[in-house]
Amino acid sequence: MKVKGRVFRYGNDVDTDVIIPARYLNTTSESELAAHCMEDIDGEFIKKVQKGDIIVAGDNFGCGSSREHAPIAIKASGVSLVIANSFARIFYRNSINIGLPILECPEAVKEINAGDTVSCDLSSGKITNESTGKSFTAQPFPPFIQEIIADGGLIKHLKKENR
Amino acid sequence: MGMSMSQKILAAHAGLKEVRAGQLINARVDLALANDITGPVAIKEFVRSGAKKTADSSKIALVMDHFAPNKDIKSAQQCKICREFAAEQNVQNFFDVGQMGIEHALLPEKGLVGAGDLVIGADSHTCTYGALGAFSTGVGSTDMCAAMMSGECWFKVPAAIKFTLIGKPRRYVCGKDVILHIIGLIGVDGALYKSMEFTGDGVANLGIDDRFTICNMAIEAGAKNGIFPVDDITREYLKNHFKREVREFAADPDAEYEREYVIDLSKIEPTVAFPHLPENARTPESWGKVKIDQAVIGSCTNGHITDLRMAAEVLKGRKVAKGVRAIVIPATNEIYLQALKEGLIETFIEAGAIVSTPTCGPCLGGYMGILAENERAVSTTNRNFVGRMGHSSSEVYLASPYVAAASAVAGYLTTPDALAGDTLTGDGSENATNAANGTKNGASGGATNAAENEVKR
Are residues B281 and B227 part of one domain?
A: no
Predicted-complex ipTM score: 0.93
Choose one of B247, B265, B283: the last residue of a domain: B265
- Per-residue pLDDT of B214-242, as tens digits, reads 999 999 999 999 999 999 999 999 999 99
Are both B370 and B352 inside the same structural domain? Answer: yes
Examine residue B284 and say whether the peptide bond preceding it is cis (omega within 30 degrees of 0).
Answer: no
* Cα A88 from Cα A104, distance rounded (Å): 11
Q: Contact B124/A65, CB-based, under 8 Å?
A: yes
Residue B121 placed within a domain = yes
Count of A-B CB contacts under 8 Å: 126
> What CATH number did the domain enclosing B279 receive?
3.30.499.10
B189, B220, B280: best to mutate for the A interface, most A CBs within 10 A: B189
**Same domain, residue pair B350 and B374:** yes
Residue B428 within any structural domain of the chain: yes
Distance, in Å, from the CA atom of B328 to the CA atom of B349, rounded to the nearest integer, reads: 9
User: Is B214 contained in some domain?
Assistant: yes
Which chain B residues are Cβ-neighbours of A15 within 8 angstroms? Answer: 383, 385-386
Residue % of chain A over a pLDDT of 90: 88
Q: What residue of A is the nearest CA neighbor of B38?
A: A67
* B364 and B232 in a common domain: no
Please write the tens of the pLDDT for every residue from B317-333: 999 999 999 999 999 99
Q: In terms of domains, do B261 and B344 share one?
A: no
Interface test mutation site (partner A, options B43, B45, B379, max chain A beta carbons within 10 A) = B45
Q: How far apart are CA A17 and CA A12, in angstroms?
A: 14
Given pLDDT bands bounded at 50, 70 and 90, which one contains residue A145?
confident
Q: Which range, of B40-54, B248-262, B427-441, averages the lowest pLDDT?
A: B427-441
Residues B258 and B329 in one domain: no
Same domain? For B60 and B191 the reply is yes
- Residues B181 and B37 occupy one common structural domain: yes
What would the mean pLDDT of B140-154 be, rounded to a whole number? 95
Cα distance between residue B346 and residue B341, in whole Å: 10
pTM of the model: 0.93
At B199-210, the pLDDT tens digits run 999 999 999 999
- Nearest-CA distance from B144 to chain A in Å? 11
Residues forming beta bridges with residue B325, ordered by sequence position: B294
Measured distance CA(B296)–CA(B329) in Å, rounded:
8
- Residue length, chain A? 163
pLDDT the model gives residue B449: 42
Same domain, B190 and B306: no
**A163 — pLDDT class (breaks 50, 70, 90):** low
B196 plus B96 within the same structural domain: yes
Same domain flag for B276 and B232: no
User: Residue B373: which domain range?
Assistant: 272-441
Coil, strand or helix: which one is A83? strand
Residue B281 shares a structural domain with residue B260: no
Strand-pairing partners, residue B262, are B164, B453
Domains identified in chain B, total number: 2
Strands laid side by side in the A117-121 sheet: A102-104, A81-84, A54-57, A2-9, A117-121, A126-129, A134-137
Strand order in B195-199's β-sheet? B225-227, B195-199, B160-166, B259-264, B452-455
Alpha carbon B227 to its chain centroid, in Å, reads 13
